[in-house]
Amino acid sequence: MDVLSTEWIGSIAGVLTTVSFLPQVYQAWKTKSTETISMPMLIMMTSGVFLWLVYGILINQMPVIIPNFFTLLSVFVLLRLKLKFK
């Protein structure tokens, strides 16, 4: 496979995993219900994505910084919703 196709696959992968938490945030916010969402999952995901962001800043790589910045926003909002609607 050529380099351009490989880069496209990586970019689509990045967009999908970055925006995937948005429908979860929307559902949690709309239904005000989060009881089957695992709290340890949210804590590990928030810490992990935060460290990815720090890592991206340290190596100065925008393709690591940008998706992880948006994913961090989503999982942080989800964590707040989880704490609000137990």
* Contact residues: its own copies, CB under 8 A: 1, 6, 9-10, 12-24, 26-28, 31, 33-41, 44-45, 47-49, 51-52, 54-55, 58-59
| CA gap 67, 81 in Å, rounded | 21
- Indicate if the alpha-carbon torsion angle 59, 63, 69, 75 is positive or negative: negative
In the DSSP assignment, the letter for residue 44 is H
Rounded least distance, CB 53 to its own copies, Å: 8
Rounded least distance, CB 59 to its own copies, Å: 6
Rounded least distance, CB 8 to its own copies, Å: 9
Tokens 């880069």 -> residue: 7
